[in-house]
Amino acid sequence: MNFDKLIDHFKLDKQEFYFQFNSHPNYPSALAFSDTLNFLGLKNDAYELDKEYWDELPDEFMALVNNSFSLVKKKDNDFTIYSDKVKNLSKEELYKNSDDFVLLFEKTENVKSTSFFNFKPFIYVIFGIILLYSFLQFTWYESVFNLLSLLGIYISLELFNQKFGQESVVVNNICGGAANSNTQSACSTIFSSDKTNILGLKLSDFSLIYFLGITFIGLLFPGAQFVLKIISLISVLVILYSLYVQTFVEKSLCRVCLFIIFILLAQIAISSFYFSLVASLPIVFISIVAFISLFFTIAFLNNLMNQKEELKKSNAKNLRFKRNYDLFKRELLDKEKIEFSDKNTFFLGNKDAQLHISVVSNPYCGFCKDAHKILEDLLKKYPNEISAQMRFNYSGESAGEKYTQLISDFLSIYKNKSQSEFLNSIDTWFKNKDENEIKGKSGTNNPENLTNIIEMTTENSSAGLNFTPVFIINGYQFPDKYDRDDIHYFIGELIEDEDFSA
């Protein structure tokens, strides 16, 4: 399934979306789709709704259109559909091609957007510097030749990346994009039919090696016109092979292939009319070494990327097993239930919630920072669905003056200020570890009665909870076989599980 248009519309992290969706235990169901959006911060609810009630839906909702999860945006009786491509449908066409499944969503501030570094601006800058240098140092025809080489590198890089799941807007536009699905499929057919396989490299990979090589030679060796001319003439064989495959084998034309052929023909024409035939043996030798080096470098990168893709697919399959809620629940209930008498000290969230999470921690424990961050994120995301309690291990005055003062300040902030201010104080502490800063937030020098905290610590110790941090969910200790972060995968089902209540 392709959700690129949908992902772009909501500005979600594309790689994260596909990874979470593919690794969901119920992949590729509507539940997996809904849970993935929830995980990325796009809160939603799914319904089976007869078409007669669709007029009452909001202006934006999601539906199964032509068996594809799609965003539907309506305006009067016209609808814009975002799925694998953007298209417009009438009301009648939408109802005819849709199931009764609808998904209503609420976009929150916590939507996770793309976090990967964008290297393209730097590539454009490098290309610009190369072009400027070329036009300043070489003749106009050598500069145009180098310009065509850079254009070939760019297209070839897009094709190389597209092999590993990174969609290319440029390639899609050349191939026809959403406007013409036939030309789009023609490009895909040509690429998939390429039987070339030399150390895992396809013909499109040799295109990248070719253009990188002639760019390197053309820029660094002004006397390399002979080499460039010979190499350009040799490319005629590749052009003939590509045209043969497109015309007689697949019987369909690939626009991006034709675009590369146009670049090659233009370079052949320039080199034939303007480049000299004065040969230089050192430059010929350097050119051979350069192309061999590029071949093995691209082969290595291609193999590395293939391994990465295989690992990603394998990891996604393994996570489907790990994220199975029934297995998680079985592991969770495998240990004896812990009963705490004090459920009010440092209590957070909705007191009437059926799901209660306790975190046993120590303010001076380095690993506890991440555990508290997880709890804070859950409280922000599900303020009405969960309750929580922070259970600090504090053994009394023997713990030290600083620890005693810190716990007293925490208790003062908790009792006299809002929940958000208390959480902010906890977050500030784990970021800076500054006792004076927390004392300033409490705004008092009067010590608090810490009897309840000491009794809480005794309860923790009696239950064997001496090592921190530990999550306790409705009295059951979070399974050791799972990472604490995994709670995000199960929180929705824990909330909805009526058989699992506090």
Tens of pLDDT, residue by residue over 419-448, are: 999 999 999 999 999 999 999 999 888 888
* Matching residue, tokens 């290309």: 127
Residue 18 in any domain: the answer is yes
Is residue 364 helix, strand or coil? Answer: coil
Whether residues 294 and 354 share a domain: the answer is no
Whether residues 62 and 189 share a domain: the answer is no
What pLDDT score does 182 carry? Answer: 45
Residue 501 in any domain: the answer is no
Max mean pLDDT range (365-369, 420-424, 446-450, 465-469):
420-424
* Residue type (1 letter), 116: F
Whether residues 124 and 240 share a domain: the answer is yes
Average pLDDT over residues 299-303: 92
Give pLDDT tens digits for 248-284.
Answer: 887 888 888 899 999 999 999 999 999 988 888 888 9
Give pLDDT tens digits for 11-63.
Answer: 787 777 887 888 888 788 888 888 888 888 788 888 888 888 888 888 888 88
Cα distances from 333 to residues 258, 327, 390, 471, 473, in angstroms, run 62, 10, 22, 13, 10
Residue 401 in any domain: the answer is yes
Q: Is the distance from CB of 323 to CB of 25 less than 8 angstroms?
A: yes
Whether residues 26 and 143 share a domain: the answer is no
Domain count, the chain: 3
Whether residues 342 and 482 share a domain: the answer is yes
Whether residues 99 and 124 share a domain: the answer is no
- Last residue of a domain, which of 56, 86, 107? 107
Residue 382 in any domain: the answer is yes
* Matching residue, tokens 């990874």: 19
Whether residues 387 and 264 share a domain: the answer is no
- Last residue of a domain, which of 310, 327, 358? 310
Q: Is the distance from CB of 111 to CB of 12 less than 8 angstroms?
A: yes
The domain containing residue 368 runs over which residues? 337-496
Query: How many whole angstroms separate alpha carbon 37 and alpha carbon 54?
Result: 22
What's the mean pLDDT when you consider all of the chain? 85
What pLDDT score does 179 carry? Answer: 39
User: Is a pLDDT exceeding 70 seen at residue 414?
Assistant: yes
Lowest model confidence (mean pLDDT) among 63-77, 98-112, 217-231, 286-300: 98-112
Residue 325 in any domain: the answer is no
What pLDDT score does 107 carry? Answer: 62
Pairing of strands 386-392, 78-82: unpaired
Whether residues 128 and 96 share a domain: the answer is no
- Last residue of a domain, which of 275, 310, 345? 310
Residue 328 in any domain: the answer is no
* Matching residue, tokens 């592991």: 331
Enter the pTM of the model.
Answer: 0.60
| Number of neighbours of residue 369 by Cβ within 10 angstroms | 17
CATH of the domain at 243: 1.20.1440.130
